Structure 1
Amino acid sequence: MKIKNFKFLEGAAKAEGLTVIIDVFRAYTTAAYLFANQAEKIFIVSKVETARKLKKELNNPVLIGERKGIKIEDFDFNNSPYFISQHNFMGKEIILSTSAGTKGIIAAENAAEVITGSFVNIAAAAEYIKSKNPETVSLVAMGNNGVTDADEDNLYADQLANLLKGKKTLAQAEIKARLRSPAGDRFFADETQSEMPKQDFEYCLKLNKFNFVIRAEQIDSDIYQLIRKEVD
């Protein structure tokens, strides 16, 4: 198994083989909590106009998304795992659009298969990849807005690679300590609590809370559906 590391939107476009699109803070943590809270379907799009068009085609969907951390106007929720965890989405169809993570999946046109990356299911991702035993694994750290480094995504890529190689990985407390500052600073500023609450930091770093992976399957050029798959 050859592991390749990429970054940002440009890296997603170069990814091949089984590809992990990594967005710890917060897209693919949010997606995991949505599935845990009974969402029936999750669709991801890179463009706001695609989300609004898709809304008209679905049966009363819930729109979730942000740009630069701020909830998109007329969307129902920000991309916050904590806020999402406080609601039951049973039977609901979700449309999710974010600054980095969802754009990364759309950009990964050369990938043979795409799964999402977040710490809440990193062990499940490793087991899934090992069960598939692909020739090539591409790890794409999406970063901030898909264009600059994000410590949390880089650390995830490092830890997942270690799991795949059978090497030692960090405990949850060590991960939280490394990411508290500067990566986590955005969650602890008083003025951002309505958009990026401090609880998001904790919820994003609940190591291995879920034992499922999230696969992405293409529906249209700017629409993918996320599929929850349990890992034995």
Structure 2
Amino acid sequence: MGIRIFQGYDHTLENSDINIVIDVIRAFTVAHYAFERGAKQILLVGNVDAAIQLRKSHPAYLLAGEINGIAIEGFDLDNSPLTIMECDVKDKTIVQKTTNGVRAALNSLNANELFVTGFSNARQTAQYARKRYLSSNETAKINIIASHPSGDDDLACAEYIHSIIAGSNTISTEEVVARIKNSHVAEKFFDESNPYFHYKDIATCSKEINSNFLMKVNQECEIPTIERFFI
């Protein structure tokens, strides 16, 4: 079977038909909510300096991201879906830099199609990939990248996507939600003494949204750019 799961952000992947990069807590949940709120596009950069240089050339761009989960000084937005839900991002271009998800996406560009997702739109992403897989007589090469090197949140989502593409349906949404909430990545969000993280982010990251689009990375742009891909 040509559907493979990788864990971590630094794999050397062979060329494939579809790569799906997952960051549940929180990068691509943030991206999904940004698009739901009308964001125009999201540019992916590998470091803080690249983001700042982009803003010098394009003052209207919004910088979003984190280092080790914590907001970056000088950026407009952190890496919380709660923040995105409170901000006016309609028609805005966002520049995103994160520890795992963005790095994994930038390392997964050798595919005919590259999608990013959290759990929030994992089902729609998987259903699209399944159609492509079946139309290829199950010969398409599909890589599913759980970007956190050890997080069961991303791995559970990867297994969920794999099961939908393969048609096995071996993992339920309830199991995925439980594994997201019980993952070690989520622990700090429930620590009331930690001011940098909020438990409501986990509730948001473990909720499915029925969107009419996927998040596809346009690899023809000078800077890889997430765009809405309507389905």
Q: TM-score w.r.t. structure 1 length?
A: 0.89
Q: Is the 8 A contact 1:44 1:224 kept in 2?
A: yes
Instruction: Report the Cα offset of residue 127 of structure 1.
Output: 2.0
Identical aligned residues as a percent:
28
What amino acid is the match of 2:35? F
Cα distance per residue 1:157-199 (max 9 Å; x no partner): 1111111122225444433323323432121112334x32111
Please give the alpha-carbon distance, in whole angstroms, between the structure 2 residues aligned to 1:172 and 1:126: 13
Q: Structure 1 residues 208, 71: closer, same or farther in 2, change over 3 A? A: same
Q: Is the 8 A contact 1:65 1:75 kept in 2?
A: yes
Contact between 1:120 and 1:210, CA under 8 Å: does it hold in 2?
no
Residue-by-residue CA offset, 1:93-138 (whole Å, 9 max, x unaligned): 1111100111111112422221012111112101221233361000
1:211–1:230 CA contact under 8 A, matched in 2 = yes
Residue 217 (structure 1) aligned with residue 222 (structure 2): no
Please state how far the C-alpha of 1:54 moved relative to its aligned partner: 0.9
Superposed displacement of residue 22, structure 1: 1.1
- Aligned residue for 1:104, secondary structure, equals helix
**Alignment-derived partner of residue 15 in structure 2:** 16
CA distance in 2, matches of 1:152, 1:24: 7
2:123 alignment counterpart: 123
Deviation at 1:39, TM superposition (A): 0.8
**CA offsets, 1:52-102, max 9 Å, x none?**
111122241111010100011100111111111122211211111100111
Residue 169 to residue 200, structure 1, CA distance change in 2 (3 Å): farther
Instruction: Show the counterpart of 2:103.
Output: 103
- 8 A Cα contact 1:172 1:206, kept in partner: no
The answer to whether residue 11 in structure 2 is matched with residue 5 in structure 1 is no
Aligned residue type for 1:175:
V
Does the residue aligned with 1:124 lie in a helix, a strand or coil?
A: helix
**Mapped contact 2:8–2:146 kept (Cα < 8 A):** yes
Aligned length: 223
1:11-62 CA distance string (max 9 Å, x none): 2x31531101111111111000000011112111111111011112224111
Tell me which amino acid in the other structure corresponds to 2:192: D
Alignment pair present for 1:142 and 2:147 = yes
Code of the residue aligned with 1:66 in structure 2: it is E
Cα separation, 2, equivalents of 1:169 and 1:122: 15
1:125-155 CA-to-partner distances (Å, cap 9, x unmatched) read 0122123336100011111xxxx31101110
Task: Tell whether the 8 Å contact from 2:163 to 2:171 is kept in structure 1 after alignment.
Answer: no
Q: How many Å separate the matches in 2 of 1:75 and 1:152?
A: 26
Unaligned runs of 5+ in 2: none
Task: Determine if contact 2:41/2:93 at 8 Å carries over to the other structure.
Answer: yes
- Structure 1: state its 5+ residue gaps: none
Quote the residue 2:113 is aligned against.
Answer: 113
Q: Of residues 192, 195, 202 in structure 2, which corresponds to 1:190?
A: 192
